[in-house]
Structure 1
């Protein structure tokens, strides 16, 4: 019955349904008594599962103290499935079993990977598999050099594996109650974790092109925008965070030497985009820094990646369109390539929907939830960008507040798929109307 219902639904709706099913299964597993150290509510189980599947990282359960090894393992599996993408995972399983992958499944995969054609889909999936395995194994081995001497082979190895998978999938879950604050000056933490986050968030298409094509001249416009945009956001974010928090004794000011302060600013600049780890107390940053972090969270990572947000390319096209308008240009281009009107309209729709979603969720939260406006809006923005950073507010959420944040996390992860369906549904107009004048601005 379910398979026949899914067969009649458009691909984005099917994928959203599959993510919802995975969340329900994950919640059922989290509700089992051996996964937690105390009895939990259904809402706590649903929230944890939703946060893991959407690779967000907001928690209402202390991962270190309130989840057993089996609970942490369930979270890790949900992170891997949610970050990798259900259809990508299905292709890998089908390929391993020698099963065929039909045109319907390719349609779902095309939507899941945000691609516009069927060409090279399976090649892209194979690239994804290689990148995931190499990145997560290498990350775990490198992180074990920090964790094993501190906690021993078994416990330290588990911490290394968990953080490697969580970082590459831009999830932000940590097996430590305080996050990575106690390891803020560790060189490996400041190199490996951001490296995994960047690799997982830049997008598999970019990774494939950088690996296979000639430097710059062989790259597509998408890859060029992603590389330039990512570098700019990381550098600008690091410098601004350092400038704003340099003398804050609760954040960067607690470090004695400038090198450690810059390392913490670098770490938060990278992580803020979509991962959600922290080496400083995010709840103690200045209000201006909190607004900066919110802006970075909204931008997010890249398409066909493990990250969320509006995406770097979406914001880049929006800025290019705005620049073209003020320069009175009738078309948009970047790096010697033009950008079509359809892409600009899609960007406008994405930005409008994101703004309405964030505003509606923030309004509902402020109307029903006690708390400062900045803390609430920060929480909503973090949920939409599937980031996972919080100003120590998640544990104070009411049941209704948890429900709102879960919806925002879910839409932040699968919303573009559903939007793509509406954008792809074209109905030829039967009547053409004369143009009218609308005064704008």
Structure 2
């Protein structure tokens, strides 16, 4: 059926994700999914399923207190499928059934994993699967060992496995509502080194992308890293350190956030709050109590997001790096943008600019709409919309107060953020026709 389909890979990805969300919504509406035995309203089920499939983490009902074990398993399944991509899961079943991967399925995998070519795509998928399960397994063991002390072994094991999957896929869903109160995330573990370190490691590993992980793992043999990996690792490190420094400075004396922690706790919490806007959604500080400067800086980090081929969203670290490189080259009067002695093609710069403008227009448009329908502060709305676009899952408390229209718009923003604005644009555009002529070049004064 897939081979005969006339849909393009971007269209199949959009339809596939939409179908998974609808199935997830139906399952979450079942009375067996809710602890009160009542069906979850459709809009809330749709919002939750979209947030889980798009690995965001914004929730209108607390996951730990509202959903039964069945409902929680539905959510974590949607997170795993959404994080790896539904085509990756379909390919996994093809491997299990020893079915040959067709050319069209390879094209879909190429689109799903955000690759430039089909060369080695099935081999990369095998690595994606192995790395994901290995990292989630190690994290589950560490979480279990730590949380079993507080929760007992059975619950510690369940929480360990569940949160390892959630945090590696940068989803941000958590089950600590019954323990520390609804919508509290990891605030009770702000000073806990093991919980913070394992969670940050999962977020970073899930956010740098499978291409980079594969490249790093092969470094022993190749003794080299690709340009893509060098840019991603450099940008990720700089953004994390810069973010931690900014939050540490802005919040050092804030008694509602870092002020109540010792010096080591301040550093740990600063790094955690710098890492989590990279599309993770967990938090150890009360975000609503942060100073506005910190909240706005986190909006910038959320907009940048994770890296290509990862479980995260945003415009991506590589796009941001190319834009900065273009600015530096222009200021210095250079014609080429060069990273690690490699010149970037102009078509890549144009794609980076196009993606950023699409994303910027989307965030601005949705923020303007919600500013008229939601009676809340502008910064709170901008924070929510950017969090949804970057598939982050952080909120200043607006999610549970959204109107029906607001929930629909945020759900659509999460959907667009997970698939990417360009993928949606390619899916919706008519079939391209070859241009038979070119217009003469003109000049426009700039600046």
User: Secondary structure of the equivalent of 2:64?
Assistant: coil
Q: Which of 416, 441, 445 pairs up with 1:439? A: 445
Contact 1:55/1:386 (<8 A) preserved: yes
Does structure 1 residue 270 correspond to structure 2 residue 275? yes
Residue 353 of structure 1 and its aligned partner are, at CA, apart by 0.2
Range 134-143 or range 327-336, more displaced = 327-336
Identify the residue that residue 385 of structure 1 maps to in structure 2.
390
Structure 1: distance between partners of 2:231 and 2:103: 31
Contact 1:112/1:417 (<8 A) preserved: no
Change (3 A) 1:215 1:120: closer
User: Secondary structure of the equivalent of 2:285?
Assistant: coil
User: Secondary structure of the equivalent of 1:83?
Assistant: helix
Structure 2: distance between partners of 1:387 and 1:215: 35
Residue 156 of structure 1 and its aligned partner are, at CA, apart by 1.4
Contact 2:2/2:104 (<8 A) preserved: no
Q: Which of 310, 334, 339 pairs up with 2:339? A: 334
Structure 1: distance between partners of 2:50 and 2:114: 21
Identify the residue that residue 191 of structure 1 maps to in structure 2.
197
The TM-score with structure 2 as length reference comes to 0.95
Structure 2: distance between partners of 1:427 and 1:136: 45
Identify the residue that residue 156 of structure 1 maps to in structure 2.
156
Does structure 1 residue 231 correspond to structure 2 residue 237? yes
Identify the residue that residue 49 of structure 1 maps to in structure 2.
49
Identify the residue that residue 7 of structure 1 maps to in structure 2.
5
Contact 2:114/2:309 (<8 A) preserved: yes
Residue 426 of structure 1 and its aligned partner are, at CA, apart by 5.8
Contact 2:14/2:427 (<8 A) preserved: no
Any stretches of 5+ residues in structure 1 without a counterpart? none
Contact 1:244/1:289 (<8 A) preserved: yes
Deviations 1:110-167 (A, max 9, x none): 1111111111111101111111111111001000122111111211111111111111
Range 139-148 or range 17-26, more displaced = 139-148
Identify the residue that residue 241 of structure 1 maps to in structure 2.
247
- How do 1:347-362 residues align onto structure 2 when only pairs under 5 Å count? 347-362=352-367
Change (3 A) 1:116 1:308: same
Contact 2:3/2:104 (<8 A) preserved: no
The TM-score with structure 1 as length reference comes to 0.96
Contact 1:346/1:423 (<8 A) preserved: no
Structure 2: distance between partners of 1:400 and 1:6: 38
Structure 2: distance between partners of 1:243 and 1:116: 40
Q: CA RMSD in A?
A: 1.7
Structure 1: distance between partners of 2:428 and 2:236: 29
Deviations 1:344-374 (A, max 9, x none): 1100110010011001100110011111101
Structure 1: distance between partners of 2:235 and 2:426: 23
Any stretches of 5+ residues in structure 2 without a counterpart? 177-181
Aligned residues: 438
Contact 1:216/1:224 (<8 A) preserved: no
Contact 1:246/1:261 (<8 A) preserved: yes
Identify the residue that residue 408 of structure 1 maps to in structure 2.
413
Q: Which of 30, 33, 36 pairs up with 2:31? A: 33
Residue 91 of structure 1 and its aligned partner are, at CA, apart by 1.2
Residue 429 of structure 1 and its aligned partner are, at CA, apart by 2.5
